[in-house]
Structure 1
Amino acid sequence: MPAKIKPTGSQITKLIIHFVVFIIGSAAMLYLYDPNHGKGKWAYPWPAWTVAAWALCFIGHYCIVFTSSEDKGYDEYRRQQDKPLN
């Protein structure tokens, strides 16, 4: 089984920054959303799509940082990639 890659401090810092910006941005969008703007009319909940898509991106970022494992064939791939075609 491939070994798990330990995340670096830089990767964790970037993940934390991503999380903080996600929380602030989501809170701002949800705060600015006014369902009663149309004076009793139905208002489309636009922030839900943005927050959901951004949450999926954050989950993907988390998975990349904490669940990555080394690829044993990567060195061979790089060797073949650098090899001339002639």
Structure 2
Amino acid sequence: MRFDVVYYGHFKCNLRALVDYPALWRYTRALYQHPAIRPTVDFGHIKGHYYSSHPWLNPSGVVPIGPRRDFDAPVEPRHHHQAGVS
């Protein structure tokens, strides 16, 4: 949940975002949409904590608004392909 929201920008892990990997992005959304997980995720708190806890990485203390990710987007069913099967 945290990668695109925090790690991508704050920790400069920005070669590619999670949304650039369709299978991982689909899996992350499926996890987030699980009724036992969704209520435990507070993106505002997550971002506020990370951007405020590392002054050497964020001396200005600015917590960015983005990136915005649609964790509620429908999760498409996975397609299984078997090699060598016609």
Q: TM-score of the superposition, structure 2-length normalised?
A: 0.29
Q: TM-score of the superposition, structure 1-length normalised?
A: 0.29
Structure with greater proportional helix content: 1
